[in-house]
Amino acid sequence: MTIHPSHSKRRERETAALKALAQKFKQEITSIPLGVAGYVIRMAPDKRRRSVWNGGPETAPIIMSDVDDTLMGYNKARKPRLNAFIKYARELGLALTAEQLEAVMEMADAFARWKDWGIDADLYHVDAHMWALDWLTQQLRNVAPRDIPEQLKDLQAQLDAIKAGIGGMPDKKLPFSFDYDELVLGTLEPSPQMITVFEAVYEPELYEDTLEVLQEIAEAGGHTVIYTYGEPLFHLEKLLRLRSRLAADGQEWPFEYIFLARKQKGSFLEELFESAADNRQLHDMFFGRAPHIVLLMDDDKKQCDDFLRIADAIEPQSGARFCTVHLLRETGKTWKQRFDILREEEGSLVADRHERREVLLYGTVGKFHAHESDEVRNARIAAYANLRLRVYKALANNLTTVIERLQSTEYKLALESQRQYFAARVQDMEHAIAKAYGLSKQTL
């Protein structure tokens, strides 16, 4: 895959940085760059598995899970980060109100987002956010309360000027400058206290319900992929920390691949599809001629839509069939728009697209606790089962469609074995929900 000469050296540095980051966590990775779109990271799962259904790995389903607000509560972690920053500001004696400190956090956040690598999307850069917030904090020390509004305006103007120089030569008249091509922010380094402020977003709460359904499918013989969207180093560190947390808790890391995507998820898969000559093994796994399901779980409807958008182009040239589970979590960034989103989804559930989409409104679930009431525990059991139900239902329904469209009997036995397995799991989940709520199956 070709890459513009202006990006080639930068990609070499970034690839080396990804490898060094993995070594810091005592992990070995294989990094496969896909132009400017991002990277495919191979990091072996904890166990090798044999399929519980007939057929080889070429027909096994591929389950892709988004990270932020699907596998981990990134949006939920923003509040602890803000609280840690307010605490730090109070320790420094800043005279700003909590509302003003939140505005400072947002100023730095906005500074840390820009279009990068020639991609028409504002990507978040956590290092720039951290550095800018640390600089803003230092500038606001010893400022009298009456002068704070004017000082904030002046600091915003300086940030705008600094950002206007991104990608160019450092401006000596500005307090610091960010040359993104060199991946450095002047000589400024964030303080240890500021690094601590950002700990919450590096280790968000793990949504165990999502992890468990992925572990179950991996245990049965399916392929599992973790799919990120944004700046690769930030997302890889979050996932390496997650693997360490799972190991410390005696839990299994089920993922075969990590997709570190700068482009939306469908667009990233297009890049992978087009890179067949360079990545034959990857291409055959995801887009081989053997019929198989490729399912994405994501909290973002735009990502689900982009994922399904590529189906019309790729499916006729491969054995893949694409489907999605759109998981709207109460703690996610799109929860407030859930009813508008549901109306849009309903408009999309037509003709052949219907079975491609599963939509799930998902309230706060959290972890099991020993002393919770039976009512709370049963609601939690039902919620866990409901997520599994949607995933297994999407797999079973789409396998039915694939089997009906087979032109030969070559793969029919393998796919029918899979379909029966997931259909049985759907029934298991229906019974679990009915038992938890004390309902009859007919009322579900």
Residues in CB range of 125: below 8 A, 6 or more apart = 112, 113, 114, 116, 231, 234
Q: What are phi and psi of 385, to 5 degrees?
A: -65, -35
Q: What pLDDT was estimated at residue 266? A: 87
- 441 band by pLDDT with thresholds 50, 70 and 90: very low
Q: What pLDDT was estimated at residue 295? A: 93
**Domains of the chain, residue spans:** 5-71+204-361, 75-201
Q: What pLDDT was estimated at residue 120? A: 78
pTM above 0.75, yes or no: yes
Distance (Å, whole) CA 358 – CA 293: 14
Q: What pLDDT was estimated at residue 277? A: 64
Distance (Å, whole) CA 309 – CA 322: 9
Extract the tokens encoding 224: 């599992």
Q: What pLDDT was estimated at residue 373? A: 52
Q: What pLDDT was estimated at residue 121? A: 81
What confidence tens digit (pLDDT) does each residue in 273-296 have? 888 767 788 888 889 889 999 999
Sequence-ordered strand ranges (E) for 266-356? 292-298, 320-329
Residues in CB range of 173: below 8 A, 6 or more apart = none
Q: β-strand 257-261 against 38-42: which pairing, if any?
A: antiparallel
Extract the tokens encoding 295: 């399912």
Return left, alpha or beta for 44; rule: phi > 0 is left, psi -120 to 50 is alpha, else beta: beta
Mean pLDDT within 257-270: 91
- 430 band by pLDDT with thresholds 50, 70 and 90: confident
Q: What pLDDT was estimated at residue 400? A: 93
| 254 pLDDT higher than 60 | yes
What confidence tens digit (pLDDT) does each residue in 136-175 have? 999 999 999 999 999 999 999 988 887 776 544 455 555 5
Distance (Å, whole) CA 1 – CA 278: 7
| 54 pLDDT higher than 80 | no
- 435 band by pLDDT with thresholds 50, 70 and 90: confident
The CATH code of the domain at 5-71+204-361 is: 3.40.50.1000
Distance (Å, whole) CA 15 – CA 352: 41
E strand or H helix at 260, and its extent? Answer: strand 257-261
Q: What pLDDT was estimated at residue 362? A: 46
